Structure 1
Amino acid sequence: MTGFDLARLLAERGDERYDLHARHLNHQLPRMLHTIGFDKVYDRAEGAYFWDRDGRDYLDMLAGFGVMGLGRHHPVVRQALHDVLDAGLADLTRFDCQPLPGLLAEKLLGHAPHLDRVFFGNSGTEAVETALKFARYATGRPRIVYCTHAFHGLTTGSLSVNGEDGFRDGFAPLLPDTAIELGDLAALEREVRRGDVAGFVVEPIQGKGVHPTPPGFLRAAQELLHRHKALLIADEVQTGLGRTGDFFAYQHEEGVEPDLVCVAKALSGGYVPVGATLGKDWIFKKVYSSMDRVLVHSASFGANAQAMAAGLAVLTVMEDEETVAHARHTGDLLRSRLAALVDRYELLHDVRGRGLMIGIEFGRPKSLGLRSRWTMLQAARKGLFAQMVVVPLLQRHRILTQVSGDHLEVIKLIPPLIIGEREVDRFVEAFTAVMDDAHGGGGLMWDFGRTLVKQALQTH
Structure 2
Amino acid sequence: MSFSIASLLSQHRSDKFDLHDRYLNAQMVRVLKTIGYDRNYQRAVGQYLYDEHGNEYLDLLSGFGVYAFGRNHPTMISALKEVLTLEMPDLVQLDASILSGLLAQEILTTTPDNLSRVFFCNSGTEAVEASIKFARYATKRNRIICCDHAYHGLTMGALSLNGEQIFRDGFGPLLLDCGSVPFNDLAALEKALCNKDVAAFIVEPVQGKGVNIPDDNYLPEVERLCKQYGTLFVADEIQTGIGRTGKFWAIEHWQVKPDMICMAKALSGGFVPVGAVAMTQKIMDSVFNRMDRAVVHGSTFSKNNMAMAAGLASLEIIKTQKLVENSARIGSEIVNRLNVVKGQFEFFKEARGKGSMIAVEFKSPSSLSLKAAWMMLETANKGLFCQMITIPLFKEHRILTQVAGHGMNVVKLLPPLILQQRDLDHIIAAFNKTIADTHQIPGSIWELGKNLATHALKAKAG
Tell me, in whole angstroms, the C-alpha distance in 2 between the residues paired with 1:212 and 1:85.
42
Aligned to 1:124: 124
Q: Secondary structure at the match of 2:200?
A: strand
Aligned to 1:235: 236
- Once the two structures are superposed, residues 288-344 of structure 1 have per-residue CA deviations (whole angstroms, 9 ceiling, x without a partner) of 011111111100100110011011011111111111011111111111001112221
Q: Secondary structure at the match of 1:120?
A: strand
The alpha carbon displacement at 1:440 in A equals 2.1
Aligned to 1:40: 39
The alpha carbon displacement at 1:143 in A equals 0.4
- Once the two structures are superposed, residues 10-47 of structure 1 have per-residue CA deviations (whole angstroms, 9 ceiling, x without a partner) of 11112110011011111111100001000111110000
Aligned to 1:16: 15
Aligned to 2:49: 50
For residues 321-360 of structure 1, the aligned pairs below 5 Å read 321-360=321-360
Aligned to 2:452: 452
Tell me, in whole angstroms, the C-alpha distance in 2 between the residues paired with 1:442 and 1:20.
39
The alpha carbon displacement at 1:92 in A equals 0.2
Aligned to 1:308: 308
The alpha carbon displacement at 1:444 in A equals 1.6
The gaps in structure 2 that reach 5 residues or longer are none
Structure 2 residue identity aligned to 1:412: K
Structure 1 residue identity aligned to 2:438: A
Aligned to 1:187: 188
Tell me, in whole angstroms, the C-alpha distance in 2 between the residues paired with 1:61 and 1:426.
12
The alpha carbon displacement at 1:420 in A equals 2.5
Tell me, in whole angstroms, the C-alpha distance in 2 between the residues paired with 1:225 and 1:442.
54
Q: Secondary structure at the match of 2:358?
A: strand
The alpha carbon displacement at 1:191 in A equals 1.4
- Once the two structures are superposed, residues 70-114 of structure 1 have per-residue CA deviations (whole angstroms, 9 ceiling, x without a partner) of 100111011000001111111001111111001001101101132
The alpha carbon displacement at 1:61 in A equals 0.4
* TM-score, L = length of structure 2: 0.98
Aligned to 1:406: 406
Report whether the alignment pairs 1:26 with 2:17. Answer: no
Q: What root-mean-square deviation, in Å, do the aligned CA atoms of Structure 1 and Structure 2 show?
A: 0.9
Tell me, in whole angstroms, the C-alpha distance in 2 between the residues paired with 1:4 and 1:454.
48
Structure 1 residue identity aligned to 2:36: G
For residues 44-193 of structure 1, the aligned pairs below 5 Å read 44-112=43-111, 113-174=113-174, 175-193=176-194
Tell me, in whole angstroms, the C-alpha distance in 2 between the residues paired with 1:202 and 1:178.
12
Instruction: Work out the number of aligned pairs and report it.
Output: 458
Structure 1 residue identity aligned to 2:197: D
Report whether the alignment pairs 1:244 with 2:245. Answer: yes
The alpha carbon displacement at 1:154 in A equals 0.3
Q: Secondary structure at the match of 1:211?
A: coil
Structure 1 residue identity aligned to 2:279: G
Tell me, in whole angstroms, the C-alpha distance in 1 between the residues paired with 2:95 and 2:149.
42
Following superposition, which runs of at least 4 residues in structure 1 exceed 4 angstroms of deviation? none
The alpha carbon displacement at 1:442 in A equals 5.7
Tell me, in whole angstroms, the C-alpha distance in 2 between the residues paired with 1:117 and 1:421.
40
Structure 2 residue identity aligned to 1:10: L
Tell me, in whole angstroms, the C-alpha distance in 1 between the residues paired with 2:376 and 2:257.
47
Aligned to 1:218: 219
Structure 1 residue identity aligned to 2:351: V
Structure 1 residue identity aligned to 2:162: N
For residues 268-307 of structure 1, the aligned pairs below 5 Å read 268-307=268-307
- Once the two structures are superposed, residues 220-257 of structure 1 have per-residue CA deviations (whole angstroms, 9 ceiling, x without a partner) of 11111111111100000000000000000011003x10
* TM-score, L = length of structure 1: 0.98
Q: Secondary structure at the match of 1:262?
A: strand
Identify the range of structure 1 (142-151 vs 8-17) with the bigger mean alpha-carbon deviation.
Answer: 8-17
Q: Secondary structure at the match of 2:366?
A: coil
Tell me, in whole angstroms, the C-alpha distance in 2 between the residues paired with 1:85 and 1:213.
44
Question: Are 2:97 and 2:303, in contact at CA under 8 Å, matched by a contact in 1?
Answer: no
Tell me, in whole angstroms, the C-alpha distance in 2 between the residues paired with 1:361 and 1:32.
23
Tell me, in whole angstroms, the C-alpha distance in 1 between the residues paired with 2:140 and 2:352.
39
Structure 1 residue identity aligned to 2:167: F
